[in-house]
Structure formats: structure tokens, C-alpha cells
Amino acid sequence: MKTTVIPIGMALLFGWWIVEFTALGQSSVPQVGDKAPDFVILKAGEEKEGAPALKVSDLIGKKNVLVAFFPKAFTPGCTTQLCGYRDDFARFQSADTDIVAVSVDPQAEGDRFKSEKAFPFHVVGDPDAKIVKEYGVPLVDLPAGHVAKRSVFLIDKAGVIRYIDPAYDVTAGKDPLYDALKKVHDEKPAAK
């Protein structure tokens, strides 16, 4: 009797886990060619109720969008990654591309990072990891807590994901990203 109860209990538990994962947006990880998940971009100090919300979808149609997930503000690798985008910002502008950098830091920490490093692009705090989950970016355990795995998604003006690097390397990943950036800029937006 116990052998039949345990598998059924495990099956029910596993079934609940699948339903819960689906509810969190993890059931389908976005792929190249998929419509990009939308999310709200808060500007510095706009986490107040009633503040006008800017969404990724507000940028689409006007610009391509690079959604760059990074683990933690002010850490060496993340500072190198985002300062690299800042230093190459003219390249993004000439490719008609906006940048939205996302971490699980609180918005206030993202605002401070943006201000202190003079980033000319959006830095979004996602402490509940809602955006991270929508994009299927894994959370990595560190002594300081869960952080998003460094990943990039390049979205064209039609809102279609055209390039993904799910394990973006700050040094080795830069050239492939910039090649994809040029390709997306030079081609017509993908239809979805």
C-alpha cells in the first residue's frame, strides 16, 4: 500500500510543481524567433504609485532593444559589462538599439549603480525575479543570495527575439553580440 501512495503523492507534488512553474512564466523559455516578454522599466525614483510606466513594448517599433541580465550591481564583472555598454553606447545608438539592464537588485540599488557609473541606458531592479523568470534566466545561488545568470536578449523593432546568449561572457561574448547587433540593424525586423 505504501508503495502506491508514495508515487501518487510524488506525482501530485510534481504536478503541482509544473502548474506553479507555469504560473511563474517558466513553462516556455523564450527562443530566437519568439515575441519578447514585455515588462515595465522604472526610471530613477519612479517606483512611486501613480508614476508613468515605460514598458519595453513602448520602445519596440522605434528601436531594437538589448535586454541584458546581470548578477549584481557594483560587482567587478557586472561593472565591466555595463561600463562596456556605456563606453560603446555610440555603437548601440548607430544600430538604433536601446539597452535595458536587469538584475535582481532593488530598484534603488540599480538607480545608484546607473547614477554612479553614468550609464546612458535603463537599469531595472527586479527583486522578485519576475522579469528574470519571464525570460527563463536561471537564478544562481551565491553567498549573498540568488542572482540572475548573466544573459543577453536582442529584440528587433517588431518585438521578436533575434539573438540570445544564455551564458554571456563579458569578454568573449562581446564580439558575437555586436555582430548580432549589426545584423539585426541591417536586416528588416522579423515578422511574428
Average of pLDDT values for 152-168? 96
Separation between Cα atoms, residue 101 and residue 121, nearest integer Å: 8
Predicted pLDDT of residue 4: 40
Segments of the chain assigned E as strands: 40-41, 54-55, 64-69, 97-103, 122-125, 139-142, 145-148, 151-155, 161-165
- Fill in the DSSP letter of residue 160: B
3-class DSSP state of 124: strand
Separation between Cα atoms, residue 154 and residue 97, nearest integer Å: 9
The answer, yes or no, to whether residue 20 has pLDDT greater than 50, is: no
**Among 2-11, 93-102, 111-120, the least confident range:** 2-11
The answer, yes or no, to whether residue 85 has pLDDT greater than 60, is: yes
Cα angle: 6, vertex 7, 8; to 5 degrees: 90
Distances (CA, A) of 127 to 54, 56, 107, 138, 145: 18, 18, 8, 14, 11
Catalytic residues: 78
Average of pLDDT values for 147-175? 95
Strand partners, 165: 152
Architecture of domain 31-186: 3-Layer(aba) Sandwich (3.40)
Q: What is the pLDDT of residues 47-67, one digit of tens each?
A: 455 555 788 888 888 999 999
The answer, yes or no, to whether residue 153 has pLDDT greater than 60, is: yes
Q: What is the pLDDT of residues 104-152, one digit of tens each?
A: 999 999 999 999 999 999 999 999 999 999 999 999 987 778 899 999 9
Strand partners, 113: none
